Structures are given as C-alpha cells and as structure tokens.
Structure 1
Amino acid sequence: MSEASQAPSLPVLEPAQARLLGCLIEKEATTPDVYPLTVNAAQSAANQKTAREPVMALDAGQVQHGLRALEQLGLARQQFSSRAERYEHTLSRHFSLPNQQVALLALLLLRGAQTPHELLARAERLAKFADVEDLKHHLDRMIGREPSLVVLIPRGPGQREDRYMHLLCGPVDVAAVAARAPSASSGASASGMGAAEFEQRIAELEARVAALEEALAARDHTAG
C-alpha cells in the first residue's frame, strides 16, 4: 500500500471547530497546567479578544458540539476527571506531524492567512524554529504532502510577502485571498516580536483567569 493511500483524508471543519482545534493546540503549549481543557476553558480560549482572527462569541453549547465533532473526526480526545470532562487534541498523531508543523497549523487555525515572519514571531511560545527559512521548510512540507494541509497565497498588490493558509476548512480561493488586504489586527511581523509576545501573555492570563473561575465554581459546588 502506498504512502498516499495510507494518508488520512482531509476533514472539512466548520469555523467553530477550526477555532477550537487551534485553541487545544495552543493551550497545550502555553498553559499546560490547565490542559486538557474543560468546555468552559475551551470556550474562554475560543472567544479571546487577542490573538484571534476573527473574534468569535461561541456559547457553551456550540463549544461542546464542536469538541464532540472534533472527537468524531479523530482530531480530539475526551479525558475524564473527577470534576469535569476535558478535551485534548490528537492532530499530531492523526496526521503524523512534528511539533513545529502542529504549531504552525494552530496559528493558521487561530488567525487565518499569515506571512512567514508573522508566523515566526507568533510561534515563539509554541515551537522552536532556527530561522524563517526553517519555518518555510515546514510549511513546504505541509504543502507537498498528500493531502496538502497548507496552501501558499502569493503576495497581492502592495504586499511585501507571500502568505499561507490551512486547508482544514476546505479548498481556498487563492486569488480572492491574495487580492484581500491583510487585516490591521494581524500586525506582528519580524519587527513586531514584542507585540506578538504581549498578545500571547494576555492570552495566557485570560486562560488562567478562566481556570481560577472554574476552580472556584467547583469549590462552591462542593461546599454547597
């Protein structure tokens, strides 16, 4: 049997499912003390105002439905604890990906089309890359595999760099995305390392606040 015939087929995720998968990957690296994530923690992560494009407002029912859909697709797994059900991603095992490629997919799932320098700045807390060429090598590996997980978006008018998008939500209209100006909120570049780090720290604080609220609610429930 050939390697191509053994490769898992590409799922077509809904936007909420893509956001939740990105959050599971991100939080495993940035807040391991609250990972795997409860439904409440996943909801807080998905609805963050920072490091997300676009900003979402998912309710608990949508989050639970999305996590269960990811589980059915083989991209997440439910873990049970004494207090709540928790979820962890299984993306690396599902597609046999190294940590660097999982991290890049997480960033693309969370923030849409990005340049290599934006990805390098934002990946600092998720995975290590020697330089931007090393990062591009991993992107090329995901483009060249069967099925492709990533697509290159050639630079459009007034843009200085190519961008990349994931393909986990289905085919991408490359020409339409290339013609679309990057969002102003996608601003971190090679010179924006500080901004990217600031966004990540805010995201971590939001996750920790959500975890504390959860712990307090559980304590109150037990006391009651």
Structure 2
Amino acid sequence: MDITPTLPVLSAEEQRVLGSLMEKSKVTPEYYPLTLNALVAACNQKTSRKPVVNYDDNTVIATLDALRKKGLVSTVTGGSSRVTKYKHNFAVVYPIIPAEVTIICLLLLRGPLTPGELNTNSGRMHEFESLDEVQALLDNLAGAEQPYIRQLPKRPGQKEARYMHLLGGDELPDDSELETNDVGSSTELAARLAKVEAELATLRAEFDKLMQELS
C-alpha cells in the first residue's frame, strides 16, 4: 500500500521557486524545463505574484538545492543545449491531478484565494468547467489523507471563504498586512481621484473664462 509522503514545510523562497516552475510548465511548455535565468525572471515577475520579490541568482540556486534535497525539483541536461534546466516533481511525489496542481500553484504564487479568484486567475494553466468543479477540487485537496490546503475563516463582509496551501505550515496568514494594503490602496485611490477632480475643475474654469472672452 502506497503511503503519501508528508508535506514539507517550505520557506518563502522555496514556495516561490516551486510555484514558478509549476506555472511555467503549464503556461510556457515550449520553454520548460527552465534555465536559471528564466526561473529567476519567473520568480521576480511583477504580475501574478504576491508579494513581488527581487531574488538574485544565488538565492534561487540555493533554493533549488534545498528543493532538490526534498525531491521536489530535478535538473535536466543533455540534448542540443548544455545549459542546466530545472523542473518540478510535485505531481510525481504526490498523487494529485493537473487541475489540483493548478490550484496549489496559484496559492503558492498569490497567497490565500477564494474559489472565484482561483477560477478567474487560472488563465492558461487550466480551464475549469465551473465554480462547482473548483470547489470540488478544493474539498478533495483539503479532505485528503494528506491535506494540501485548508479553508480559512471568513473575514467580515466576505461572501466566499479563502483557502491557503499547507506547504508553509498550517499557521494562519497574518491578515493585518492585507488590511493595511487594502487601506493604503483605498487612500491612494482617493488621493488620485481628488487630484483628477481638481484638474478638471481648473480646466472647467479656464474653459469658462475663454468662452467669456470670446463672447
């Protein structure tokens, strides 16, 4: 009888490198496995990442070494290129299907998400048939003998529950940073809106003055 290995507790760097390899295996299969340069660029993307990071080559190399020791990453050499490339082995080590890999990947790269957010952000990685399919996959991943994810308590005013992966341990995420970011975004938006309204008021006054001079 096969026994599913226990999930390792990965560092933030390991989560980002593993998630980036998962993503690129689906989104750009023609360039996968990834070279070191491509993997560094994938980790440091400004889009589809939370938080945005700026890893250097040494950080990614050290992280790849740690993931190799855990059996989650392997190297590929040979063929027409002598450059070492890297691929993830998550779906080899753990008995999950491609759609479930997509969910875990998104949670690794973006943090806790609702079923709707998972469906919206899956992009070219996997085309979910419906929200019901997403929910069913989440239930499978959370209820497996070796749980991969867990449901988080709903925040005030939130309609959908969020889910987090368990590759960083089962400690609940600190929502204070998210709330600060939300407030910061709202404040910034209000300031920008006030600036636009002031500029429009100035333009309107200048236009009225010009019309009076012409009349």
Deviation at 1:130, TM superposition (A): 1.4
What's the offset of the Cα at 1:124?
2.9
Checking the alignment, whether the CA contact within 8 Å between 2:4 and 2:95 is kept in structure 1 is no
Cα gap change, 1:161/1:28 in structure 2, threshold over 3 Å: closer, same or farther? same
Q: Percent identity?
A: 38
| CA displacement, residues 54-95 of structure 1 (integer Å, 9 cap, x when unaligned) | 001111011011112111111111111433111111111111
CA shift for structure 1 position 147: 2.1
CA distance in 2: counterparts of 1:26 and 1:170, whole angstroms: 21
Question: Does residue 33 of structure 1 match 2:36?
Answer: no
The equivalences for 1:1-224 within 5 A come to 1=1, 6-81=3-78, 82-173=81-172, 176-177=174-175, 181=179
TM-score calculated relative to the size of structure 2: 0.78
1:29 Cα deviation after fit: 0.9
Evaluate the alpha carbon distance shift between residue 116 and residue 179 of structure 1 in structure 2; reply closer, same or farther with a 3 A threshold.
farther
Preserved CA contact (<8 Å) 1:154 1:178? no
Q: Distance in 2 between matches of 1:165 and 1:120?
A: 15
Where does structure 1 differ by over 6 angstroms across 4 or more consecutive aligned residues? none
Cα contact 1:10–1:168 (8 A) shared by 2 = yes
| Secondary structure, aligned partner of 1:83 | strand
Distance 1:21 1:12 in 2: 12
Change (3 A) 1:178 1:153: farther
Query: How many pairs were matched up?
Result: 180
Could you tell me which runs of 5 or more consecutive residues in structure 2 were left unpaired when the two chains were aligned. 183-215
SS in 2 for 1:40: helix
User: Could you tell me how far apart the structure 2 residues matched to 1:36 and 1:90 are?
Assistant: 11
Instruction: Give how far 1:183 is off.
Output: 5.6
| C-alpha distance in structure 1 between counterparts of 2:180 and 2:91, whole Å | 29
* Amino acid in the other structure paired with 1:79: V
- Whether the aligned pair in 1 keeps the contact of 2:44 and 2:53 (CA below 8 Å) is yes
| Structure 2 SS opposite 1:97 | coil
